[in-house]
Amino acid sequence: MLIYWLELKKLLSAVAVWGFIAACLLFNLVIIISNSGDEYGDFVGAVAQVTGYILDQSFAEKLSRLTVGGKPAEYLAQLKHETEGVTDVFEGYETRYIGERYIQAMGATGYWADLMREKYAALQKVVEEKAKKDESLTLYFAGATHERHQLLFDTLLGWLFTEGALAAVLLALLAVGYENIYGTESLVYSTKKGRQVMGPKLAASLTAGLGTYILLAVLAFIAYFSVNKYGGIWGSSVSSFFNYRVDLITGNRPFITWYSFSVLTYFLAMVGAGAILVLCFALLAFGIGMVVRNSYLAFLVFLLVNGVNIVVPLQMPQTLPIGLAIKYLSVLSPVGLWLKHGIWFTDGDVDVIWPYFETLGLGLSLVVLTVFCVSALIYFRKRDLT
């Protein structure tokens, strides 16, 4: 335990790490401030504290009793207009066409086409369940929903995942290459603990990486929620009538999640899944660092591995079954998941073949990368340190 703390202290005393965190904080502030200022969204959040977020008779009555003056009066009129005659988007909604469009777009046949059809058959049941629960009849941010949803869950969280992953990767590479950078390999690895110090180094780098992600997230959320008021909409469903996805193949369509998520639970799930993604990237970097040893070279290898993971599936011909397999499987890799963070917990899109792809991908990545890291540890213990 003492060695773990000493390794953690070494990482946290690196000035570059704090410089990176400061730069990220500044960048996040710029994103938040330049994209905020939507008064209507704040107004809807404040109204929901009085009316509740469920679009029923009671909501309409409470809304009609509200009286405000000035600019808010215009917002109130807009809200009344938007919530009047709202229908359940899931009532009679068919998901099959989405699957068929995707199958057509990918040119999938046989096994892969069957899998895609199975996924949308399963999603149909979810849609029917959502219809029963009137999940879409919730307020969210009414007409401001799509922009607010995108800002928090696509833009801000996307950047937080990127920054958290980059910080975790840099910390992992710093931890694994620390002795190489300072020329202390011979001293450290000939001690009693010897090369087994890599265990505490791994634990310390994962802690520091995760801690950095949490710190960046907490500070970004403090800034975000201080300029974007959520008021009473936290319990509203993310599959609200007002939320939708823009999809080039199927056109705009409802935001369908496999589970019934409120804004709060979806937010927590996204932040939690992001933490696992950060860990996956850190494990990948640590494993590469143990094989390559030189941190700078290891970072280049890390970029190369992820670059290949993005480029190869794009270049694979869809006419070959192996090409389709690579395209579908690459989505489950950390970089594939990172690219699709905006549609986590939904049915995904054209190259997502499995339901719960983010859960499956994160679970698989975590297992595979843990095995990779353990194998790299074993290799490191048996290699010559010239």
Partner 1 sequence: MLVVNHVTKKYGNFTALEDITLEFTKGVYGLLAPNGGGKTTLIKMLATLLFPTKGEILWEGMEINKLGEKYREVIGYLPQNFGYYKNQSPRQFLHYLAALKGIDPTVANRKVPELLELVSLGDVMDKKMRGFSGGMIQRVGIAQALLNDPKILILDEPTAGLDPKERVRFRNLISEISKDRIVIFSTHIVSDLETVANHVIMLKDHKLFYNDTPANICQTLSGKVYETWDIESVTQPYFPLTQRQEEGRILVRFVCETPCPQAQPVTPNLEDVFLYIYRDEAV
Q: Which amino acid is at 33?
A: I
Q: Which of 64, 87, 109, 191 binds partner 1 (CB under 8 A)?
A: 191
296 binding partner 1? (CB under 8 A): no
Beta bridge partners of 245: 253
Distance CA 322, CA 222 (A): 46
Q: Classify residue 70 as left (phi > 0), alpha (psi -120 to 50) or beta.
A: left
* Span from 16-24, 194-202, 270-278, 284-292 in contact with partner 1 (CB under 8 A): 194-202
Residue 2 found at the interface with partner 1 (CB under 8 A): yes
Binding mask 11-50 for partner 1 (x = CB under 8 A): --x-------------------------------------
Confirm if 243 and 146 have CB atoms less than 8 A apart.
yes
Angle at 46 (CA atoms; ends 259, 26), nearest 5 degrees = 75
Does residue number 187 form part of the binding site for partner 1 (CB under 8 A)? yes
**CA 75, CA 68: separation in Å to the nearest integer?**
9
CA 247 to chain centre: 18
Q: Is the dihedral of CA 56, 60, 66, 68 positive or negative?
A: positive
Does the footprint of partner 1 cover residue 378 (CB under 8 A)? no
Which range of residues in 1-9, 157-165, 212-220, 276-284 is near partner 1 by CB under 8 A?
1-9
Q: Does 367 bind partner 1 (CB under 8 A)?
A: no
Q: The dihedral of CA 308, 311, 314, 320: what is its sign?
A: negative
Decide whether 4 or 244 has the Cβ nearer to partner 1. Answer: 4
Residue type at 217 in one-letter notation: A
Q: Of the listed pieces 113-121, 139-147, 193-201, 261-269, which binds partner 1 according to CB under 8 A? A: 193-201
Q: Which is nearer to partner 1, 176 or 238 (CB)?
A: 176
Q: Residue 182 interacts with partner 1 (CB under 8 A)?
A: yes
Round to whole Å and give the CA distance between 95 and 125: 9
Q: How far is the CB of 122 from partner 1 (least distance, A)?
A: 52
Q: For residue 296, give Cα distances in angstroms to 67, 177, 203.
A: 62, 9, 21
CA distance 246 to 244: 7
Q: Do residues 57 and 185 make contact, with C-beta atoms less than 8 angstroms apart?
A: no
Minimum CB distance to partner 1 smaller for 11 or for 47: 11
According to CB under 8 A, which one of 100, 124, 150, 189 is a site residue for partner 1? 189
In the beta sheet, which residues pair with residue 237? 262
* Residue among 13 and 57 whose Cβ is closer to partner 1: 13
Size of the site for partner 1 (CB under 8 A): 25
Q: Which of 19, 37, 107, 194 binds partner 1 (CB under 8 A)?
A: 194
Of 75-83, 190-198, 226-234, 251-259, the window that binds partner 1 (rule: CB under 8 A) is 190-198
Q: How many whole angstroms separate alpha carbon 335 and alpha carbon 238?
A: 25
Task: Provide the sign of the torsion angle of the four alpha carbons 362, 368, 374, 380, taken in this order.
Answer: negative
**Interacting residue with partner 1 among 165, 197, 217, 282 (CB under 8 A):** 197
Helix-then-strand count for the chain, H and E: 16, 2
Using CA atoms, how far apart are residues 52 and 29, in angstroms rounded to an integer?
31
From candidates 85, 94, 110, 192, binder to partner 1 by CB under 8 A: 192
Binding mask 141-180 for partner 1 (x = CB under 8 A): --------------------------------------x-
Q: Is there binding between residue 386 and partner 1 (CB under 8 A)? A: yes
303 interacts with partner 1 by CB under 8 A: no
Positions in the binding site for partner 1 (CB under 8 A): 2-3, 6, 10, 13, 179, 182-194, 196-197, 382, 384-386
